[in-house]
Amino acid sequence: MVDVPKFTTPPPIGGNFTVAHLDDAWLAEASDYQTDIMSGAPVGQSKQTGTLDNIVRLFDDRYDTLARIMRQECGFVESHQIGYVKRHKHEFTGWNAECNLIVMVSDLGTTKKGNKRLTVEDPSGEMTILAPQKNPMCASLLRDDVIGVTGSFLKDTDIFWVKRIQYPEVLMSHQNRGGEDYDPVSIAFASDLHMGSIEFMEPEWDKMMAWLNSGHPIAKNIKYFVFTGDVVEGVGVYPGQEKNLGPNSEHHHTYSTDMMNVYDQYEFFARKLDMLPDHINPIIIPGNHDAVRPAEPQPVLEERIQNMFNDATFIGNPMRAQLSGIDVLAYHGKGVDDMVPVMKHVTYEAPAEAMKEMLKKRHLAPIWGERNALSPEEEDQMVIRDVPDVFVTGHTHAHQVEWFRGLPLIVSSTFQNETDFMNMLGYKAKKCLLTVYNIRNRETKVIPFGDA
C-alpha cells in the first residue's frame, strides 16, 4: 500500500505565479465547471494480420487521405497522374509546360550535383523526378511522404524537373480554438513517469501532488491532467532492464514490492494518482514502455490495469479527445526516433522541430519499417486528418512549449532521472516540469518541481 500524505501548506516552487500576475481565466475554479471528455474513434484495435494486402491498403488510405487534404485545404490539385504524364511526355516538356502531380515518395537520394532524386508513385505508376537542392522543402523530405509537385521534363531529356513542392500542411493562417466561448479551465501535461524504475523521482512527484492540493489558483484551475505515455517503466522492454527496476534507496520510495511485475508498477501508479484532488481528471495514454503492443497505433491499456484506478480515462496512442470543447492531439512520440537520424534540424533536445514536421506532413510517423514499429490498420490512424487545438508529445524526456501555425506544441516533461544509458550518451533530461495550458486565454504556465 501507498501512504497518501496529508497536505497542509503548498511547497515552494520557482517562478512568479501570484494572483496579481494571473489573468482572470486562471482564477476560475475547475470544480465549478462540468467535466466534458469526448474521445475520438478507438485506435489500434483492428484485426489486421500484417499481410501484404493489409500494408497496401494502409498506404492507399494514407495517399487518398493526404491527397484529399492537399486539394481541399492547401488548394493543390493534380492536373494529371504519373501514367498520363509518362505517356504524353511531349505535352510536358519545356519550362512553361508544367503539370501538378500528387505522389508518394518511395525512395530518395542525392545526385552528384547535390540535387534530390526522388522515386515517386501514384495509383497510375512510378517515375523518377529531380528537385533542386536550394529548394527549402527538400530538407524535410522523407520516404513515404505524400507531396504535391509542380514541374516539367527538361528538353531532350527524361528528367522531370520539380519547381515546387507542396506538403499537406497546416496552413500559416490557422488559429486554434479558445476565447470567451470556452470554459476558463486548464489542462496539465506530464509524461514518462517510469514508475517502477529506480530513477523514478518520487519526492518531486509528491511535491507536485502537494502543490496540486495546495489551493493555489493555478492548481485549482486544472480540470484535466494528460499523461502522454510511459507512465510505468515496464518489464522486458530492453535487455538488462531488470537491474533498473525497484526502489531507489536514496529517494526512499514507498514501494511495497520489488517492481519486477508490471502489474505492481501500475498498482503503484494508481495509488500515487489517488493523491490528485477531485477536480482534476487524469487521462492516460500508453507509450513504448507500457503493457501494450509496441506497434503504433497502440490500443488502450487492458481492463485489468484500468480496474486498478479509482478515477481515470484511458485512451489509445495517439489520442484525439475533446476536453471542454478543445481538440487535443496527444501522441507519445516514438515517431521522433525515425526523424532524428535523417533530419539535421530535428534532435532529441528539441523535439518540437519533429512535431512541426508532423504537422507539415500531416502524419505522426511517416516512415515505414524503421525504428518505430507501425501496424497496418484498416486505415492509417497516424494521419492527422483534422488540425488539433493543442498538440502534445512525450518520449524524449525533453521539455518545450512553442506556438506553430496557430496552435501550441507541448513536449511533456519526465519524472525519471537520467538512466545509465542516458548518462552514457551524455543526454540531460528536462525533469519535473508541469505544463499547464488554459483553454480560454491560450496561455501556458510551466511549474518546476525539481532542480533541473
Asked if the 75-166 domain carries CATH number 2.60.40.1930, the reply is: no
What global pTM score does this model have?
0.91
Nearest to 174 by CA among 436, 444, 390: 390
Residue 137 CA from chain centroid, whole number: 22
For residue 237, the 8-state DSSP code is S
Q: 86 in helix, strand or coil?
A: helix
261-271 pLDDT per residue, tens: 889 999 999 99
275-299 pLDDT per residue, tens: 999 999 999 999 999 999 999 999 9
Q: What are phi and psi of 334, to 5 degrees?
A: -70, -20
Confidence at residue 304, expressed as pLDDT on a 0 to 100 scale: 96
Confidence at residue 259, expressed as pLDDT on a 0 to 100 scale: 77
Topology, domain 19-47+173-448: Purple Acid Phosphatase; chain A, domain 2 (3.60.21)
Please give the Cα distance from 39 to 257 (Å, whole number).
34
Domain boundary assignment for the chain: 19-47+173-448, 75-166
Q: Which positions ≥6 away from 58 have C-beta within 8 Å?
A: 376, 377, 378, 379, 380
Confidence at residue 7, expressed as pLDDT on a 0 to 100 scale: 38
Q: Which helix (H) or strand (E) holds 130?
A: strand 125-131
Confidence at residue 248, expressed as pLDDT on a 0 to 100 scale: 60
Sheet with 400-404: list strands edge to edge: 37-39, 319-323, 326-331, 390-393, 407-411, 400-404
The mean pLDDT values, 10 residues at a time, for the chain of 452 residues are 39 56 92 94 80 91 97 96 94 89 95 93 95 89 96 90 95 94 97 92 94 95 97 75 68 61 92 95 95 93 96 96 97 95 92 97 93 90 97 96 96 89 78 96 94 62
Instruction: Decide: 178 and 441 in contact? Cβ < 8 Å.
Output: yes
